[in-house]
């Protein structure tokens, strides 16, 4: 499938773009083959290259009051923790958030690109783009780069005319609509806590606490997740950052150190 370069085109149209004029349909779809000797193995190689990289925990869920989005902030390169303070929740526009899992550069670039497209849509159509539309734009772009090694596992969360919206979009071009998602190496642990504690009618504080705890538990067990647990809330007036707690501190908040009964006290040896 032809690469979707609409995000990277300059504003001025190419002079005399005849192919559009001559035919309403584009020519029979053909995709550009990657420049390698082993085409069949190419995709497998590309996937292997990026496999360990989705070391992260992100989650999002819809509840009565809106959408709750949370993520950790650790970046790892194999066993090396390269950063404890990565912003994994990307602000696409004042009423839409995207989460980052997979290749940091890929996620950041394509989310910014999506923000551009959303803004252009607003200007052209005098109305905000829906979460459905925004997630579809991103999914179409990622699909056109399928098999070329992009690593993106993202959730698009927002509030539009139809209410709260949440979509999961990944580098395979898949796009799922849902009420609860968690993405990353720590997601199984987060799902455990999230699915257990989830109720549709929670208050904003209850939902924030659930999100925070789910991220904390994931960072506790998953080595590739850690740092700071950020929690964002998306409501009818847009998103708002609720908290950013260091998971180490969260640990002692949830499991404070109890003074234990001492069996034998060590006494100072007099003299010596």
Partner 1 sequence: MARYDRAITVFSPDGHLFQVEYALEAVRKGNAAVGVRGTDIVVLGVEKKSTAKLQDSRSVKKIVNLDNHIALACAGLKADARVLINRARIECQSHRLTVEDPVTVEYITRYIAGLQQKYTQSGGVRPFGLSTLIVGFDPYSGVPSLYQTDPSGTFSAWKANATGRNSNSIREFLEKNYKETSGQETIKLAIRALLEVVESGGKHIEVAVMTKEHGLRQLEEAEIDAIAAEIEAEKEAAEAAKKAPPKEK
259 binds partner 1 (CB under 8 A): no
- 154 classed as catalytic: no
DSSP assignment of 194-237 equals: HHHH--SS--HHHHHHHHHHHHHHHHHH-TT--SEEEEEEEETT
133 binds partner 1 (CB under 8 A): yes
Q: Under a CB-based contact definition with an 8 Å cutoff, are residues 182 and 88 in contact?
A: no
* CB of 162 vs partner 1, minimal distance in Å: 9
Count of residues interacting with partner 1 (CB under 8 A): 18
Region 5-64 residues binding partner 1, contact defined as CB under 8 A? 16, 18, 20-21, 24-25
Of 234, 249, 215, residue with least CA distance to 73: 215
Q: Which CB sits closer to partner 1, 119 or 136?
A: 136
130 binds partner 1 (CB under 8 A): yes
* CB of 24 vs partner 1, minimal distance in Å: 5
Q: Under a CB-based contact definition with an 8 Å cutoff, are residues 207 and 63 in contact?
A: yes
User: What track of x and - describes contact with partner 1 for positions 160 through 199 (by CB under 8 A)?
Assistant: -x--------------------------------------
Of 223, 213, 165, residue with least CA distance to 192: 213
Given 56, 57, 58, 219, which residue is catalytic?
56
Residues found near partner 1 in the complex (CB under 8 A): 16, 18, 20-21, 24-25, 124-127, 129-130, 132-133, 136-137, 140, 161
List the catalytic residues: 56
């Amino acid at each position: 499938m032809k690469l979707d370069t609409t995000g990277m085109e300059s504003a001025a149209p190419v002079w005399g773009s005849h192919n559009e004029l001559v035919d309403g349909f584009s020519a029979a779809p053909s995709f550009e083959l990657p420049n390698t000797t082993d085409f069949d193995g190419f995709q497998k190689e590309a996937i292997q290259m990026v496999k360990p990289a989705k070391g992260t925990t992100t989650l999002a869920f819809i509840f009565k009051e809106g959408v709750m989005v949370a993520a950790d902030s650790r970046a790892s390169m194999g066993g090396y923790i390269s950063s404890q303070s990565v912003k994994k929740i990307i602000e696409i526009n004042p009423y839409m958030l995207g989460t980052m899992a997979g290749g940091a550069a890929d996620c950041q670039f394509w989310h910014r690109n999506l923000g551009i497209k959303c803004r252009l849509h607003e200007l052209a159509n005098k109305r905000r783009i829906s979460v459905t539309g925004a997630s579809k734009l991103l999914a179409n772009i990622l699909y056109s780069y399928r098999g070329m090694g992009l690593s993106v596992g993202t959730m698009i969360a927002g509030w539009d005319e139809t209410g709260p919206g949440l979509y999961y979009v990944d580098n395979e071009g898949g796009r799922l609509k849902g009420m609860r998602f968690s993405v990353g190496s720590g997601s199984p642990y987060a799902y455990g806590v999230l699915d257990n504690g989830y109720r549709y009618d929670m208050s904003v504080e209850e939902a924030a606490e659930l999100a925070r705890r789910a991220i904390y538990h994931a960072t506790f067990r998953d080595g590739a997740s850690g740092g700071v647990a950020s929690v964002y809330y998306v409501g009818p007036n847009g998103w708002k950052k609720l908290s950013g707690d260091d998971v180490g501190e969260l640990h002692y908040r949830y499991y404070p150190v109890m003074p234990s009964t001492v069996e034998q006290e060590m006494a100072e040896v007099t003299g010596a």
